[in-house]
Amino acid sequence: MDLLFAGLEQVFTVETLSLIAIGLIVGIIIGAIPGLNVPLAVAIALPITFKLSPIGGLAMLVGIYKGGTYGGSLSAVLINVPGTPAAAATALDGAALTRQGKAGKALRMSLYASIIAEVISDLALILFAVPVAAFALKIGPPETFSVGVFALTLVGVLSQGNMLKGVMAGALGLLLSTFGVDPLTGDFRLTLGFDALSGGWSFIALVIGVFAVAEALVKVERPLEKPMAMGTVRLSDPDHRLSRDDWRRSLPVITRSAPIGVLIGAIPGLGAAVSAYLNYGITRNLSKTPERFGQGAIEGVAAAESGNNAVTSATFVPLLTLGVPGDVITAIMLGAFIVHGLIPGPALFEQNSAFIAAFFVMVVVTTGLHLIIGRLGMPLFVQTTRISNKFLFPAIMVLSVTGVYVTTNSFFDVFTMLGFGLLGYFMIKCSFPVAPLLIGFILGPLIEIGLRQSVIMSRGSFDIFLTRPLSAAFLALAAVSVVIVGVREWRLARRNTPNPKTPEGD
Amino acid sequence: MGTGRRRPGGDTWIALGLIAANAVFLRDLFDTEPGGAYLKTTTLPIALSVSLTVLSVLLLGWSLLRPAAPQAEAAAEPVPGPPPAVRVLAATLLTAGYIAALPWFGYLMSSCAYFAAMSLLYGNRNPVSIVAVMVAVPLALMLFFEQYMIVLLPSAGLFE
Amino acid sequence: MTSIRKILKTLAIVPVAMAMSLAAAQAAGYPSKPLTLIVTWPAGGSTDVIARLLAEPLGKELGQPVAVVNRKGGGGSLGTKAALDAPKDGYTVLMTTSGNHILTPLKKDVGYRYDDFVPIGQVVAATLALAVRADSPWKSLDDMIKDAKANPGKYNFGGVPFGMPHLTLNALATEAGVELVHIPMQGGAPGAKALLGGDIAMLPANASTVASNLKAGKMRALAVFNKERDPAFPDVPTAKEQGHPVYGSPFVGMAVAKGVPQEAVDRLRAALQKVANDPDFQAKAVKTATAITYLPADDFGAVWARDWNAYEPVLKKK
Q: What is the DSSP string of B15-36?
A: HHHHHHHHHHHHHHHHHS----
Residue C92 near residue C35, CB atoms below 8 Å = yes
Q: Is pLDDT above 80 for A166? A: yes
Mean pLDDT of C121-126: 90
One-letter amino acid at C78 equals L
Distance CA A144, CA A454 (A): 9
**Domain for residue A378, yes or no?**
yes
Tell me which residues of chain B, numbers 1 to 20, contact chain A at a CB-CB cutoff of 8 Å.
Answer: 1, 3-4, 6, 10-11, 14, 18
Average pLDDT, chain C: 84
**Any idea how long chain A is?**
506
Q: Which residues pair with C220 in a beta bridge?
A: C132
pLDDT bucket at A333, cuts 50 / 70 / 90: confident
Decide if A152 contacts A443 (C-beta within 8 A). yes
Closest CA to A411 of B142, B107, B146, C257: B107
Contacts with C14 from chain B: Cβ below 8 Å: 108-109, 112
- Which of the residues A202, A295, A397 would you substitute to probe the B interface, choosing the one with the greatest number of B C-beta atoms within 10 Å? A397
Res A418: pLDDT: 95
Our count of domains for chain A comes to: 1
* Interchain contact A379–C (C-beta under 8 A): no
**pLDDT at residue B75, rounded to an integer:** 44
CB of C65 less than 8 A from some CB of B:
yes
Sign of the alpha-carbon torsion through C200, C202, C205, C208: positive
Terminal C-alpha separation, chain B: 50
Q: Quick one: pLDDT at residue B61? A: 87
Host H or E run for residue A277: helix A272-286
The residue among C100 and A501 whose pLDDT is bigger is C100
On the question of pLDDT at C28 being above 60, the answer is no
Cα distance between residue C253 and residue C234, in whole Å: 25
Q: Which domain holds residue A123?
A: 2-496
pLDDT of the residue at A489:
80
Share of chain A above pLDDT 90, in %: 18
The ipTM (two decimal places) reads 0.84
Q: What is the pLDDT of residue B72?
A: 43
Q: For the packed helices A163-177 and B43-65, what is the interaxial angle rounded to 10 degrees?
A: 150
User: Per-residue pLDDT for C240 more than 60?
Assistant: yes
In this prediction, residue B79 has a pLDDT band, given cuts at 50, 70 and 90, of: low
Residues shown for chain B: 160
pLDDT surpasses 80 at A75: yes
Please, which residues bridge with residue B41 across strands? none
Residue of B nearest to A174 (CA): B48
pLDDT (0 to 100) of residue C25: 45
- A395 and B115 in contact by Cβ < 8 A? yes
Query: Does B75 contact chain A (CB < 8 Å)?
Result: no
What are the pLDDT digits (tens) for C181-198?
Answer: 999 988 777 888 889 888
- The pLDDT, as a whole number, for residue A139 is 86
A387 contacts in B (CB within 8 Å)? Answer: none
Q: Determine the distance in angstroms separating the CA of A427 from the nearest CA of chain B, rounded to an integer.
A: 9
Q: Are A309 and A69 in contact (CB under 8 A)?
A: yes
Helix (H) / strand (E) element for C37: namely strand C35-39
Nearest to B92 among A389, A398, A418 (CB): A418
Q: Could C7 and B125 be called an inter-chain contact, meaning their C-beta atoms sit closer than 8 Å?
A: no
List residues bridging with C257 in a β-sheet.
C117
Q: Report all structural domains of chain C as residue ranges with CATH numbers, in order of start.
A: 33-125+250-316 (3.40.190.150), 128-224 (3.40.190.10)
What is the DSSP code (8-state) at residue A209? I
**Binary contact (A398, B95; C-beta < 8 A):** no
**How much is the pLDDT for A246?**
85
CB A260 within 8 A of CB A150: no
Cα of A193 to nearest chain B Cα, Å: 9
Distance of CA A227 to the CA centre of its chain: 28
List, as ranges, residues 95-124 from B with C-beta within 8 Å of A. Answer: 95-96, 98-100, 102-103, 107, 111, 114-115, 118-119, 121-124
Contacts of C36 in chain B (CB under 8 A): 152
Is the distance from CB of A88 to CB of A211 less than 8 angstroms? yes
Chain centroid to Cα A163, Å, comes to 23
Task: Return the half-sphere exposure (C-beta side, CA atoms, 13 A cut-off) of residue A62.
Answer: 32
Task: Tell me how crowded residue A222 is: count the other CB atoms within 10 A of its CB.
Answer: 15
- B45 to A189: CB separation less than 8 angstroms, yes or no: yes
The answer, yes or no, to whether the previous bond of C31 is cis (omega within 30 of 0) is: yes
- Residue A314 one-letter amino acid: A
**Pairing mode of beta strands C35-39, C92-97:** parallel
Confidence of residue B159 (pLDDT cuts 50, 70, 90): low
Please state, for a pLDDT cut of 70, what percent of chain A lies above it. Answer: 93
Torsions phi, psi for A181 (to 5 deg)? -130, 140
- Kindly state the average pLDDT of the residues A121-141: 86
Q: How far is A125 from chain B (nearest CA, A)?
A: 31
Contacting partners of chain B (3+ CB pairs under 8 A): A, C
CA distance B139 to B155: 13
pLDDT at A135 > cutoff 60: yes
The yes-or-no verdict on residue A193 having pLDDT over 70 is yes
DSSP H helical ranges for A178-243: 203-208, 214-220
Q: Enter the DSSP assignment of A268.
A: T
User: What is residue A440's three-state secondary structure?
Assistant: helix
| Pairing between β-strand C181-184 and β-strand C156-159 as defined by DSSP bridges | parallel
Q: Is the pLDDT of residue A190 over 60?
A: yes
pLDDT tops 60 at residue A276: yes
Predicted confidence band of residue C120 (pLDDT cuts 50, 70, 90): very high
